Amino acid sequence: MFGDSFRNKTVWLSGHTGFKGSWLAHWLLSLGAKVHGFALPPNTQPALFEQLALSNRLSNEFGDIRDAALVKKSILNAQPDFVLHLAAQPLVRLSYQQPLETYATNVMGTAHVLDALRSLAKPCAAVMVTTDKCYENREWVHGYREEDPLGGHDPYSSSKAAAEIVTSAYRRSFFGEHPVKIASARAGNVIGGGDWALDRIVPDCVRALQKNQAIPVRNKTATRPWQHVLEPLSGYLWLAAVLANPKLSPYDSKQISSAFNFGPTHESNRTVAELVMEVLKQWPGKWEDKSDPKAVHEAKLLQLSTDKAHSLLGWSAVWNFPETVARTAQWYHQLSEKGDAKLAQDLTSRQIEEYSQRAKQLAVSWAVH
């Protein structure tokens, strides 16, 4: 898979203690990569990072992405072949409470990684991860394309739009003839086993179901392009692989050194209520409407066009909406029932294998190279 691009290669991965970062670190290790993680300690209890025992399986460095000198020192010491920058303040509602911390982490943190890469004098493929919320959301029924205007109503969304602008400016200003190649990846609303964050619908479901309580749903009509966490991660990995090895794609490397959307198929654009009902098919329970008319603004409708990723990278989504929710709920339910210390690793590895085999059956590019 991925053209065997990661075997025995060093990957500097920021945000490796988070939900997406932990899945990505686990996958990279299975691909034979040497992973150097840079992040704050996990901020949830439990934490997937600890459930997967990642601190014992990779080079683990606790550090703050807002510390420019520390970021530069970490990257130059690691001398990576790949950089995957995931570290972020990822919550919309928290960004209203902590706007300055959100901008410092998401905008300046990205700038710190990019600036450190200017001093890396070796070939390296770097993917800066942002979000689907970086677009100026006009509640369109059609998907946003990479060239659509960036923006954001809330501090989180606007911080990610700014991170995209910073990435584009650095790429054009400093990395034209540089051995480091830069791209960015936009995805959002991922679900999957091991997300324990507050203020997210799937963890809210799990916490309520574990206590035999009704699931609190605050925004039941909001529509999102739900996708399993492995979908965008396969995109990040394949984008990085093609950046590093242009022979994996027939397109010019300058076209690859750009922004890409990674999202699910159109049928996965479902309401929060539909998501909750799908979870309850796997783990019976009940839910209750907790809508608050005074709640802070959150987008009602948002979806991405993935035509560019499909055309230039041969990437496409693998699991449909019911499959995505089923595997997510099963991960939590099986862990809750058995509670075995090694079970989280086994469940995660099994789902990566099932996802990869399905991608191979569908002849998705990264799975057949």
Specify the pLDDT at position 296. 60
Judged against a pLDDT cut of 90, whether residue 48 lies above it is answered with: yes
Task: Please name which of 265, 330, 304, 16 lies closest in space to residue 140, comparing C-alpha atoms.
Answer: 304
Phi, psi for residue 341 in degrees, rounded to 5: -65, -35
Specify the pLDDT at position 223. 83
Specify the DSSP class assigned to residue 181: E
Judged against a pLDDT cut of 80, whether residue 339 lies above it is answered with: no
Specify the pLDDT at position 137. 86
Q: Residue 236: which CATH number?
A: 3.40.50.720
Judged against a pLDDT cut of 80, whether residue 338 lies above it is answered with: no
Side-chain half-sphere CA neighbours of 363 within 13 A: 0
Q: What is the pLDDT of residues 65-82, one digit of tens each?
A: 999 999 999 999 999 999
Q: Quick one: average pLDDT of 277-285? A: 95
Specify the DSSP class assigned to residue 67: -
Residue 177, classified by CB atoms within 10 Å of its CB into exposed (0-12), middle (13-18) or buried (19+), is: exposed
DSSP H stretches of helix in the chain: 19-30, 48-51, 68-78, 92-97, 99-103, 109-117, 155-174, 201-210, 230-244, 253-256, 272-282, 307-308, 321-338, 343-361, 365-368
Stronger pLDDT, 138 or 197, i.e. the higher one: 197
> For the chain, what is the domain count?
1
Range of the domain at 147: 2-368
Q: Quick one: average pLDDT of 354-367? A: 98
Specify the DSSP class assigned to residue 198: T
Task: Please name which of 98, 96, 82 lies closest in space to residue 241, comparing C-alpha atoms.
Answer: 82
Q: What is the pLDDT of residues 170-225, one digit of tens each?
A: 999 999 999 999 999 999 789 999 999 988 899 999 999 999 999 999 889 888 88
Stronger pLDDT, 106 or 254, i.e. the higher one: 106
Specify the pLDDT at position 34. 98
| Size (the chain), residues | 369
Judged against a pLDDT cut of 80, whether residue 31 lies above it is answered with: yes
